[in-house]
Amino acid sequence: MHSFILLFFAVVTTTFGFGQDNPEIIVTIGDHAIAKEEFVRLYDKNNKLLLDEAEKKSPSDYMDLLINFKLKVLEAERLGYDTLPGFVNELSTYRKELAKPYLTAVHYTEEMVKTAYERMQTEVNVSHILLLAKEDASPKDTLETYMQLLNLRRQLEDGSDFETLALNYSEDPSAKQNKGKLGYFSAFQMVYPFEDAAYKMNVGQVSYPVRTKFGYHLIKVNNKRAARGQIKVAHIMKEIDEHTSEEATSQGNQQLDSLLLELENGADFAEKARLHSDDQRSASSGGTLSWFSSSGMMPEFAEPAFALQQDGDLSPVIRTPYGWHIIKRLEHRPIPTFDEVEDFLAEKIRNNPEISQHNAERFIQNLKGEYDFKQDEQVLDELIKELKTAIKSNTLETFQLANPNQVLFHFADQQATAGDLLAYLRRKAGGPKSAAMPQTYNSFVFERLRQYEDSRLEAKYPEFRYLVQEYHDGILLFNISEDEIWNAAVQDSTGLVAFYEKNKSKYQWDERFHGWSIKCDNLEAKDFIDAVFDEDSEIQAAELRDQMKDYLGEVNAEVEFGFFEKGQDPLVDYLVWNAPKPDNFLDGLHFVRGNRVPPQVKTLQEAKGLYVSDYQNKLEKMWLKELRKRYKIKVNKKLLKGIEQHQ
């Protein structure tokens, strides 16, 4: 019942103290005022949630519901229900859950899944320059790396060649061979911050420094093209490497030229692969490789593979860094539909820690910008050196700061001192690690920003404020209603009996049948039952079944005894009230024994649920009458009438 009450009364709850500077007040209840704008919002929300248009309330009817609801909430507050530990804990738990989406940038929304699917449609060709930076690098080292890349970017703007700079400055080991060229990639094939930056850029554009777990990157988008789905191929390879002689290299090429001619004349590709391919992993399966996309395989192999137009087509002999190849197309499949991969993409996003970290960092940066975050880099660098020394020497608990009130950073109307950071380090579970100080400091900053943001959610997000208030009022309503109405009605047995005596004609039985409904499978069972009834007409149903089992070896009949209402038993309906004959009716074997019972008043026990509900309604009306005397109510009828005229 708790969840039902909260759900129902979420549509009639309200909040006070927010909105326009001079709102038009439509109703005051005690000392609490509700603005016209808020009343209209709640009224519209209530009617949108209705499943049956016939249940739609007029503004006047809704006003009565709202007043009754708020009276109970105000009474609960007067009696201190909102100070009870159970209420405080429940509301706090709910608010924490409700606040989570507002306190992180990690939203596993349909929009993110659709973005991932859109990226699957496109492959991006990029080059990059990487400067390595450890994830636990100090702010000073991180800033130096960042500024170095900014300098390289300025050189590019002044006309320097990207490949030359990548060759001279990039710390990606492959840059010596590829001059920073990474080729094509698609969604989920690069670390997420790198992917995210590349997909958001135009062809020819160079990024500002992008942070990943490897360091900082300058990314240049060389080209974009439509993704080409996936392909499955088989190949025959003759291996070559840097130690292979020119003669052996030429011989391998000639061998594949001869094999290609045989294949074009009808030779079996799988058999030739098993006999001649140097790729031992695929040779045993006839040269078959796993499915791959055009961006998921080296371009020297992928391009000729995707150039094959039909299943069964053969490529010319092609060369890759691994050797000479003949490729046979086996099957091609286009990019799947969104419905086919939606669940897969959602799971991929949820389980990608880089997406979580990237979005968390972006969230922090947004807060820093919004609240004008400023940090004293010199003070921070000196403090971190001191703290690292204390951590390494295991003296953090006794370490004394020279100036604990020195401000590390400030934002909005908040500030954090060196002493605040030291206290944070001391309470961290397991203790901080010296090498992880930069991350620990970032966690401290995030905690302070997050706490401040949490304190402002009600002011920043009206819908969040409404939901918290709705839950607040809903819990109070449930708790006080439980005490004043529901439990009171159940526990007041004397009052319930008196209420029943005054209203006992309200719930009555229609005509019923009292007796037996019996369906026998055979004549022997019926004769046995008739004999038992002749001997003992008061026998119980369970005893009758036991005697049948003892005498006949099994129960060969369906035997029911009691009161039967119309519609309860098809056999009784047919034989007592002339209803249609039941399916599989056996004349002479299916029968009833008993009498009709005229309409009669239900006892309190028989209709207890109904009378308890009615008694609760009576108690509620009496309670509301008392509350309307305690709290002065004033409705602006002119405003209410204006709302009704616009419905």
Name residue 329's beta-bridge partners.
233
Q: Are 416 and 374 in contact (CB under 8 A)?
A: no
| End-to-end alpha carbon distance in the chain | 33
As a three-state string, the secondary structure of 282-339 is HHCCCCECCCEECCCCCHHHHHHHHHCCCCCCECCCEEECCEEEEEEEEEEECCCCHH
The predicted pLDDT at position 267 comes to: 95
User: Percent of the chain, pLDDT > 70?
Assistant: 92
- 439 domain residue, yes or no: yes
Q: What would the pLDDT profile of 176-205 be if each residue is shown by its tens digit?
A: 989 999 999 999 889 989 999 999 999 999
User: Is the pLDDT assigned to residue 161 strictly greater than 90?
Assistant: yes
Q: Is residue 323 part of a domain?
A: yes
Average pLDDT over residues 144-172: 94
Q: How far apart are CA 420 and CA 520, in angstroms?
A: 85
Q: How does residue 159 score in pLDDT terms, banded at 50, 70 and 90?
A: very high
Give how many domains the chain has, as a whole number.
4
Residues 320 and 379 placed together within one structural domain of the fold: no
The whole-number average pLDDT for the span 560-571 is: 95
**Boundary-marking domain end, from 226, 242, 268:** 226
**Does 317 lie in the same domain as 265?**
yes
343 pLDDT tier (thresholds 50, 70, 90): confident
* Cα dihedral value 366, 367, 369, 374, nearest 10: -140
Task: Calculate mean pLDDT across residues 466-488.
Answer: 92
- Please say which residue of 301, 333, 365 terminates a domain: 333
Q: Is 55 exposed, middle or buried (0-12, 13-18, 19+ CB in 10 A)?
A: exposed
Task: Convert the pLDDT of each residue in 37-85 to its tens digit.
Answer: 889 888 888 777 666 676 788 899 999 999 999 999 999 999 999 999 9
State residue 43's pLDDT score: 87
| Residue 617, pLDDT score | 94
Q: Are residues 452 and 362 in the same domain?
A: yes
User: What pLDDT score does 489 carry?
Assistant: 85
Please state, in angstroms and rounded to a whole number, the distance separating the CA atoms of residues 239 and 251: 11
| Cα–Cα dist 424/444, whole Å | 7
What percentage of the chain exceeds 90 in pLDDT?
64
Residues 250 and 155 occupy one common structural domain: no
CATH number at residue 286: 3.10.50.40
- 109 pLDDT band, cuts 50/70/90, is low
Residue 286 lies inside a defined structural domain of this protein: yes
> CA 470, CA 73: separation in Å to the nearest integer?
11
- What secondary structure does DSSP assign to 111-125, as a single string? HHHHHHHHHHTEEEE
**439-454 residue pLDDT tens:** 788 889 999 999 999 9
The per-residue pLDDT for 105 is 61
Inside any domain, residue 136: yes
Flag whether 47 is in a domain: no
pLDDT per position as a tens digit, 370-381:
999 999 988 888
Pair 221, 132 in one domain: yes
Given a cut of 80, whether residue 149 has pLDDT beyond it is yes
Name residue 557's beta-bridge partners.
520
Nearest to 558 by CA among 512, 525, 532: 525
> In terms of C-beta distances under 8 Å and separation of at least 24 residues, what long-range contacts does 296-300 make, across chains too?
296/186, 296/189, 299/183, 299/184
Separation between Cα atoms, residue 433 and residue 485, nearest integer Å: 58
- At 402, list the tokens: 């020279």
Of 426, 457, 488, the last residue of a domain is 457
Task: Mark whether 328 and 252 lie in a shared domain.
Answer: yes
Distance CA 273, CA 6 (A): 69
* Residue 282 belongs to domain spanning: 230-333
**Residues 524-532: what's their mean pLDDT?**
92
- Could you tell me if 198 and 126 are in contact, meaning their C-beta atoms sit under 8 angstroms apart? yes
Rounded average pLDDT over 463-482: 92
CB atoms within 10 A of CB 394: 9
In a domain, 6, yes or no: no
**91, 81, 73: which is closest to 32 by C-alpha?**
73
151 in a domain, yes or no?
yes
Q: 388 or 524: which carries more pLDDT confidence?
A: 524
Same domain, 580 and 548: yes
Looking at residue 11, its pLDDT comes to 37
Average confidence (pLDDT) over 21-46 = 87
Q: Both 198 and 235 in a single domain? A: no
Asked whether 238 and 288 are in contact (CB, 8 A), the reply is: no
Both 200 and 246 in one domain: the answer is no
Residues 183 and 208 in one domain: yes
On whether the pTM is more than 0.85, the answer is: no
Sequence-distant contacts of 14-18: CB under 8 A, at least 24 apart: 14/38, 14/39, 14/42, 14/66, 14/70, 14/469, 14/473, 15/465, 15/466, 15/469, 18/462, 18/465
Backbone angles phi, psi at 538, to 5 degrees: -100, 10
Same domain, 383 and 451: yes
Instruction: Please indicate, yes or no, whether residues 140 and 210 belong to a single structural domain of this protein.
Output: yes
Work out the average pLDDT over 270-293: 94
In a domain, 110, yes or no: no
